[in-house]
Amino acid sequence: MNFYGRDFLRILDFSEEELKYMLAMARKFKEMKKAKQNHKYFPEKNIAILFEKTSTRTRCSFEVAGYDLGMGVTYLDPTGSQMGHKESIADTARVLARLYDGIEYRGFDQKIVDELAEYADVPVWNGLTDECHPTQALGDFMTIEEHFGHLKGLTLAFVGDTRNNVANSLMAMSAKMGVNFIACGPVGLRPSDEIIAKCQPIAEKNDCTITVTDDISILDGRADAIYTDVWLSLGEDSEKWGERIELLKPYQVNMDLMQRAKDTAVFLHCLPSFHDLNTSIARDVKEKYGLDEMEVTNEVFESDKSIVFEQAENRMHTIKSVMFLTLWDPSLGKKSLSEKKPG
């Protein structure tokens, strides 16, 4: 396996073994962090993290993981760079690659991060696009594996807007890890035929299934994990709230829906989540459409079935693993990793 110098743009770019290795490395880093063991392997490196959309978890995970590995980190906020307005993606990529050892990008079209990766001769990491959210899926599978002690044979059901970026990456990761994947949502928000066609043969090879349905009874006694996400993603027009609420209300994750799943089922959410009225967006939606809770009820969110904060923490450990593996030069030898004195 060789990760050195590679980009991390989508789950489907990596083999089953490579993804498992990334998860194993993340577990190692989590242990090191808990043991307060120094792992500043890259004091000579710097990274740029470029955000064209807002973020809490992803930004902070890249920053903390970067600092923990000993690196310098520059954050460029949604208005803080010239990219797209005054400078092309290709030029931005070539400039940043001269200054930094790795570049994270969060934004809109997948083509942007693909183009950055094409022109930057340092690793580019996808921190979310309209198409996928691969570091999220990695963190989620670390969390599911920690909880159940294994992955293969489990059933993960994504309930809601099943054609969004998070759902796409979860479908790909499920197929790779031998986890049965259920996309349960309204017909109008089905995953694309293209993503299904890419994941289906991988699932078959790994003895698991992909099911796309609008019928929530599919969850009955079957799902080990129920996952949902916001009904309107970053960058989508707020005018769409009305039609989304109409379409997705039957798929709200409430206790009735949770009870359809196995007794041992857990609840996951990439966050941020609209489970109460403690945000300005939730209050606006309440005023316009009368909803107190959206994709998940507060009861489920706060229940002991919910492992959402473990999930949030694991973003950092998995992102650290991705950065470490793509920045670590194996020609320095395996031995040198343990011999190299961090920091």
Catalytic residues: 106, 133, 136, 229, 270, 315
Cβ atoms 87, 93 nearer than 8 A: no
82's contact among ligand CP, ligand NVA, none, with CB below 5 to 8 A by partner kind, is none
Bridge partners (DSSP) listed for residue 83: 87
Which strand ranges, in their side-by-side order, compose the sheet holding 102-106? 72-76, 46-51, 102-106, 124-126
Helices and strands per DSSP (H, E), number in the chain: 13, 9
Site stretch for ligand NVA (CB under 6 A), options 101-109, 117-125, 161-169, 239-247 = 161-169
Q: Is 5 left (phi over 0), alpha (psi -120 to 50) or beta?
A: left
Residues 221-280 that bind ligand CP (CB under 6 A): 270-272
Give how many residues touch ligand NVA by CB under 6 A.
8
Task: Tell me which of 25, 41, 52, 58 binds ligand CP, using CB under 6 A.
Answer: 58
Any idea what the Cα angle at residue 271 is, between residues 278 and 113, rounded to 5°? 130
Q: Between 70 and 272, name the residue whose CB sits nearer to ligand CP.
A: 272
**Residue 111: phi, psi to the nearest 5?**
-60, -30
Q: Which is nearer to ligand NVA, 102 or 139 (CB)?
A: 139
Q: Residue 330 CB, nearest distance to ligand CP (Å)?
A: 30
Nearer to ligand CP, 234 or 291 (CB): 234
Residue 56 contacts ligand CP per CB under 6 A: yes
Strand partners, 306: 267
Binding residues vs ligand CP (CB under 6 A): 55-58, 128, 136, 270-272
Binding residues vs ligand NVA (CB under 6 A): 164-166, 229-230, 233-234, 270
